[in-house]
Amino acid sequence: MKRTVTHLADGRELIYFDRHDDADRSAVDTRTLPPPPQASELRRDRLLGEWVTIAAHRQDRTHLPPSDQCPLCPSTPGRPTEVPSADYEVVVFENRFPSYSGRAPEHPDGVVPGLGRCEVVCFSPDHDASFATLDLAQVGTVMEAWADRTAELSTLPGVRQVFCFENRGAEIGVTLAHPHGQIYAYPFVTPRTERMLQVARAHREETGGDLFADVLADERAAGTRVVAANDLWTAFVPQAARWPFEVHLFPHRKVPDLSALSAEERTAFAPLYVDVLQRLDRLFGVPMPYVSAWHQAPVTADRDLAYLHLQLFSTRRAANKLKYLAGSEAAMGAFVNDIYPEDAARRLREAT
């Protein structure tokens, strides 16, 4: 894998990932850009004990531009974009409108800065592609980029957790239609991760077992919620799914993060994940909006408790209906699902 590091006109880092060593990545960003924004602000919710990020500069981020003005497509003569090259395989760059960055404010005056990093991962140069349409070699390149960035971002001062994810579809809130994901390097451990690790610790103390491994073993043994599997991964609908269509993908070997996966595990992930994504798209005959979230171990704490897995879920509950986070979910965090997980798994298995 060839890895080429360069910089955009405002100093942000950009990294090309190529399967071929002869890829020419000498193109230069010719735009005139303002300097990147300083770090956001962290505020502590005193009632919940959780961090909230205030990033007011993101209010001005690019929002659903027409395809001929997409900033994630390769550059063309007369129209430079965020990617200077005329083509690319997979490219990663610092987000122009980051929730977290390493650019600390000059005069914080008691403010807790949101130090960290936010990156954009472009999965393909094809504006009309989707992750489900990528060939398996391309998925492998994305996996290499995720692993590379997880390892590197984990070394940044103050970073506590690295989160690779994809939001797909306007129904989810995507502001750019080009196939891409993001990576957040948080300066704290996120609430969901903290809660999962608390439950995993209690499970180990009570049973001596590993929570995640036990859940995986139970789902594989029952089989009723398994959607698809191969020798190294299993995709299943969780027993208490919160979302209408939610699938978790677990490697059979416990590892803390993406960078710890073996070459064989990375290769085996690609066909299974693409298969699940295609099943989601076939379910209602329309592109399925979804969030695809990699749950990784914190950088320095509880790495023995965590178990890498992917959570994939959609807000679509019927061909013409979406699930919205209304009173119970949004205000109280108490989810109500309209679809039995076993029925969701069956429908996905049958979506061939």
| pLDDT tens figures, 229-239 | 999 999 999 99
Average pLDDT (253-278) is 98
Checking if the pLDDT of 67 tops 90, the result is yes
- Angle at CA of residue 38, ends 121 and 99, nearest 5°: 40
What's the confidence (pLDDT) of residue 104? 86
What's the confidence (pLDDT) of residue 15? 98
Average pLDDT (61-70) is 94
* Cβ proximity of 187 and 115 under 8 Å: yes
What's the confidence (pLDDT) of residue 209? 97
Tokens of 207: 């049973």
Average pLDDT (179-203) is 98
What's the confidence (pLDDT) of residue 228? 98
Q: Say how far apart CA 309 and CA 297 lie, in whole Å.
A: 10
Average pLDDT (100-128) is 92
> Which residues are tagged catalytic?
180
pTM: predicted TM-score of the whole model, two decimal places: 0.97
| pLDDT tens figures, 9-54 | 999 999 999 999 999 999 999 999 999 999 999 999 999 999 999 9
Please, where in the chain does CATH 3.30.428.10 lie?
2-188, 192-350
303 residue type, one letter: R
Over the chain, what is the mean pLDDT? 97
Neighbours of 172 (CB within 10 A): 17
Instruction: Give 213's Cβ-side CA count (13 Å radius).
Output: 14
What's the confidence (pLDDT) of residue 105? 81
Checking if the pLDDT of 133 tops 80, the result is yes
What's the confidence (pLDDT) of residue 156? 97
pLDDT band at 92 (very low <50, low <70, confident <90, very high): very high
| pLDDT tens figures, 211-256 | 999 999 999 999 999 999 999 999 999 999 999 999 999 999 999 9
Lowest pLDDT segment from 5-14, 105-114, 291-300: 105-114
Tokens of 59: 């209010």
How is domain 192-350 classified at the architecture level of CATH? 2-Layer Sandwich (3.30)
pLDDT band at 284 (very low <50, low <70, confident <90, very high): very high
What's the confidence (pLDDT) of residue 106? 77
Checking if the pLDDT of 62 tops 80, the result is yes
| pLDDT tens figures, 156-179 | 999 999 999 999 999 999 999 999
Of the candidates 273, 199, 276, 210, the residue with the CA atom closest to the CA atom of residue 245: 276
**Phi and psi, residue 101, nearest 5°:** -155, 170
Checking if the pLDDT of 110 tops 90, the result is no
What's the confidence (pLDDT) of residue 108? 75
Of the candidates 161, 169, 8, 27, the residue with the CA atom closest to the CA atom of residue 88: 27
* Cβ proximity of 44 and 30 under 8 Å: no
pLDDT band at 109 (very low <50, low <70, confident <90, very high): confident
Beta strands 309-314 and 316-318 are unpaired
Q: Say how far apart CA 141 and CA 68 lie, in whole Å.
A: 26
How is domain 2-188 classified at the architecture level of CATH? 2-Layer Sandwich (3.30)
What's the confidence (pLDDT) of residue 255? 98
Biggest CA–CA distance in the chain, Å, is 64
Residue 68: C-alpha distances to residues 76, 80, 123, 201, 288 (Å): 11, 12, 18, 50, 24
pLDDT band at 69 (very low <50, low <70, confident <90, very high): very high
Tokens of 141: 């390149």
Checking if the pLDDT of 288 tops 90, the result is yes
**Residues in the chain, overall count:** 352
Average pLDDT (248-276) is 98
